[in-house]
Structure 1
């Protein structure tokens, strides 16, 4: 089976890096330092144009930082953003919402419907759901194409057992994509230990030059001398090469 690599990017430079690296998909977002937010229509359209038919662009729809319990008004915004992503040419969307009890919000059915047949990924909200196994069943029933998980751990290397359980329970009804520190050096271990055939990574490195003076617009966590992070093309390319060699 073919192993597919998805690279999370939040800029045009990131899209181009992922294309050159040989990624199968990009998860396009804004504000990666905030965990990712919904990108603008302009960014989506340009990303789709640059990716062409070589790389699929899947758009993250997340209206604000923080948890995944959304007010009705926020869900309405999300549904509209899902529609707009499709209109801008996205190949898929990435969403997720939980209710007050920590279960998959039934309003996710409306998000899937708004995608108009495009594949929809349920993101790492599954890792903070009340019960990830139950959440998987709900996600499958609602028609999601895949779920993104690190096995409820910051690093997927610490969550391999749960990821494997989710793959087995999914039984082909929904694809399970592993994330959380996935890199070329551990990709083979993740694939062998879990049975996933989709890997998600966000390799980043400092970029830009911080301006001088008392006023700074540097991104969250950017080290001295830099003003932001951008996709690490070399890391992405190495991961893609390793997975090509791992295809079975």
Structure 2
């Protein structure tokens, strides 16, 4: 079973690469659900990670996935940059005002990728019908979808994940997946890829002006998760 680790730092990406992650989803601002990483961060990660495939999250802001023309233009530029910089893939999503996939915007982003693999992120989980969305994505040429089955946690989205598995796309299950439940979720859904963002909170040193904590990759949990996934792949 493949393991994708989401991280928003170069150090986290290097650690995930060293620990044996099959894929890294690189973002910034993980605490906000992930935003597009800057060019400096992407360059540092591509220079230092040599085992894991690095896929770049394209998300111009926090919040929902219905985007203005200027936000779409920014995403198109970010996709072009990621592809030209050497990313192994990009992860995108866009919805129309009806909450369904915006096929026109997604088509533009796929074109900008120039043949670099494009995955659909968790915008699918807020669609009225995730299974319909998966079929739309497949028709557009998207072959992988990151999803929790429309639930907050993958464990609660198992019935929908089972249906999505029949949509003709590769599913990367996500949402609260850790070493203790990865195998159970995989067996219940039939997915052979999982995504996780194991992080630990690092408090601010404090002082009169406090900008709050940040997070580092939890290397211990990452190691345990990868080991559990590899055990589940054994015959």
With the shorter chain as reference, the TM-score category is over 0.9
Post-superposition offset of 1:192: 0.6
Q: TM-score, normalised by structure 1?
A: 0.91
User: What CA deviation, in whole Å up to 9, does each residue of 1:129-171 have, x standing for no partner?
Assistant: 121111001100111120011111111111111001100232x
Q: Deviations over 1:41-87 (max 9, x none)?
A: 111111011112x0111000000000000011111110110000112
For 1:8, what is the secondary structure of its paired residue?
Answer: strand
Aligned residue number for residue 122 of structure 1? 120
Deviation at 1:93, TM superposition (A): 0.4
Q: Distance in 1 between matches of 2:165 and 2:204?
A: 44
- Pair 1:213-2:207 in alignment: yes
Q: 1:66 aligns with which of 63, 66, 70?
A: 63
Measure the CA separation in 1 of the matches of 2:209 and 2:47. Answer: 35
CA distance in 1, matches of 2:99, 2:162: 22
Residue 182 of structure 1, CA deviation: 0.6
* 1:191 pairs with 2:186: yes
Whether 1:77 and 2:74 are equivalent positions in the alignment is yes
- Offset of residue 211 of structure 1: 2.7
Task: Please say if residues 21 and 234 of structure 1, whose CA atoms lie closer than 8 Å, have aligned partners that are also in contact.
Answer: no
Residue 227 of structure 2 is matched in structure 1 by 241
Please point out which of 85, 95, 108 is paired with 1:88. Answer: 85
Q: Is contact 1:6–1:199 with CA below 8 Å preserved after alignment?
A: yes
Structure 2 partner of 1:221: none
**What SS is found at the alignment partner of 1:184?**
coil
Cross-structure match for 2:163: 165
Q: Does 1:11 align with 2:12?
A: no
Structure 1 unaligned spans of 5+: 219-226
Aligned residue pairs, count: 233
SS in 1 for 2:167: helix
**Aligned partners of 1:46, 1:213: CA distance in 2, in Å?**
31
The answer (yes or no) to whether the contact 1:26–1:56 under 8 Å persists in 2 is: yes
SS of alignment partner, residue 171 of structure 2: strand
Pick from 196, 216, 227: which aligns with 1:230?
Answer: 216
- Corresponding residue of 2:172: 177
Structure 1 moving runs of 4+ over 4 Å? none
Asked whether 1:103 is paired with 2:100, we answer: yes
How far apart are residue 16 of structure 1 and its match? 1.5
State the secondary structure of the residue aligned to 2:96: coil
Is this contact kept in 2: 1:91–1:119, CA < 8 A?
A: yes
5+ long unaligned stretches in structure 2: none
**1:204 aligned to 2:199?**
yes
CA distance in 2 between partners of 1:114 and 1:197 (Å): 28
| Alpha-carbon RMSD | 1.0
Could you tell me the TM-score, scaled by structure 2's length? 0.96
